[in-house]
Structure 1
């Protein structure tokens, strides 16, 4: 009796298998590419994707996430992102951070328009007068006269500001700066500017290459690119 029962079960199993084969006939056989290719080949395939497409692979499955988050992939993506940028954020170069995190933090910091003391102090700034400034000042400015290197300004952690020796515009006077930020509900910034002495406030803006510009109707400050500065620049923690 047991032999007869086993024979019936075996026949039913073969029947189900034949039925499934008939149902699957004409349809593509689906299998996870990661299982077929293996990790090393899959890394080569994923390396050809852009950063956005690679990021989508992170949510396919836990196994895909482990492969798609590899530093082997995101190192090159970081290099592509940083190429041509004026400044590389300090928080993306912290020792021990994954390249995926470095990429994400760089993108978020690159969208930041709120300038911090670290940003001011980490960069050398090119200074020039605007066209609306008095002619007397423009005549002293190499930017307009083309008779020498541009003027530079330096911000220091103690709140002071200095210039290059021999700067005709600077004149050796004392100078201090402050950053003014007013925030309304839900962290939304209502007003944000930099003020030097009691002069007119400087509106802050960020360019596509992540460089900074501060301007009013009389003069302009532009951060000088320093993408290769060791350790990066700007605040160590993400600022929105």
Structure 2
């Protein structure tokens, strides 16, 4: 009697096991890839993702965050981001910050349209007259005549501006600049421009390669690429 009961229980147990196996075969594989592959292999997998997809991995779990935030991954992402850029933000190259922070700060700074004194002073600026400028001025400008290197302008921390020696347009006169920014409620910028002496304000714009351009109806200033500069350029703190 006992042997028969044990046999029935054993058969039922086998049936349950077979049923569970059939059910498991129909279910998706739910095991965490990080547990299966381990950290080293997972780093190789994540390294094939683009920056946006990699950033999404940061919010999967704390364990994933520790792996997906590794400098081993974000170093290459920073290099990809900075490739072809005219300027590398100084705040992204501060010693001690993670490469993930460097990437995030670079993206935020690259969207900045508010120019600061550090930006003006850190870069060399190519200068030329616009088509609307008087013909006499344009005749002195290599940009229009094609008879020499472009003119350069240099901004200094003391508020002055200078040019290359022998610049025919410059003429050795004194020049000073100011940055004007008016802000309305909630930190929104209503007006932002650079003024040189008493000339018309220069409207400020940012290009996709993170270079700067300042223009009015007479002049155009363009920042010359200097991504090679050690330590980066621009303000040390994030500017909104």
Task: Give the Cα–Cα distance (whole angstroms) in 1 for the partners of residues 72 and 158 of structure 2.
Answer: 41
1:65 aligns with 2:40: no
Q: How far is 1:26 from its partner?
A: 2.1
Q: How far is 1:14 from its partner?
A: 8.5
Task: Give the Cα–Cα distance (whole angstroms) in 2 for the partners of residues 97 and 41 of structure 1.
Answer: 25
Deviations, residues 173-201 of structure 1 (Å, cap 9, x unaligned): 00000000000000000000000000000
Task: Give the Cα–Cα distance (whole angstroms) in 2 for the partners of residues 79 and 149 of structure 1.
Answer: 31
Which runs of 5 or more residues in structure 2 are unaligned? none
Q: How far is 1:29 from its partner?
A: 3.2
Which runs of 5 or more residues in structure 1 are unaligned? none
Aligned-pair Cα RMSD in Å = 2.8
Q: Secondary structure at the match of 1:102?
A: helix
Task: Give the Cα–Cα distance (whole angstroms) in 1 for the partners of residues 157 and 238 of structure 2.
Answer: 19
Q: Aligned in 2, Cα 1:172/1:16: closer, same or farther, shift over 3 Å?
A: same
Task: Give the Cα–Cα distance (whole angstroms) in 1 for the partners of residues 6 and 94 of structure 2.
Answer: 65
Deviations, residues 199-232 of structure 1 (Å, cap 9, x unaligned): 0000000000000000000010000000010100
How many residues get paired?
A: 240
Q: Aligned in 2, Cα 1:181/1:8: closer, same or farther, shift over 3 Å?
A: farther
Q: How far is 1:10 from its partner?
A: 11
TM-score by length of 2: 0.93
Task: Give the Cα–Cα distance (whole angstroms) in 2 for the partners of residues 191 and 13 of structure 1.
Answer: 78
Q: Aligned in 2, Cα 1:138/1:46: closer, same or farther, shift over 3 Å?
A: same
Task: Give the Cα–Cα distance (whole angstroms) in 1 for the partners of residues 9 and 159 of structure 2.
Answer: 86
Q: Aligned in 2, Cα 1:26/1:165: closer, same or farther, shift over 3 Å?
A: same
Q: Secondary structure at the match of 1:25?
A: helix
Q: Secondary structure at the match of 2:59?
A: coil
Q: How far is 1:21 from its partner?
A: 3.9
Q: How far is 1:30 from its partner?
A: 1.7
Q: Which moved more, 1:90-99 or 1:28-37?
A: 28-37
Q: Aligned in 2, Cα 1:165/1:14: closer, same or farther, shift over 3 Å?
A: same
Deviations, residues 124-143 of structure 1 (Å, cap 9, x unaligned): 00000000000000000000
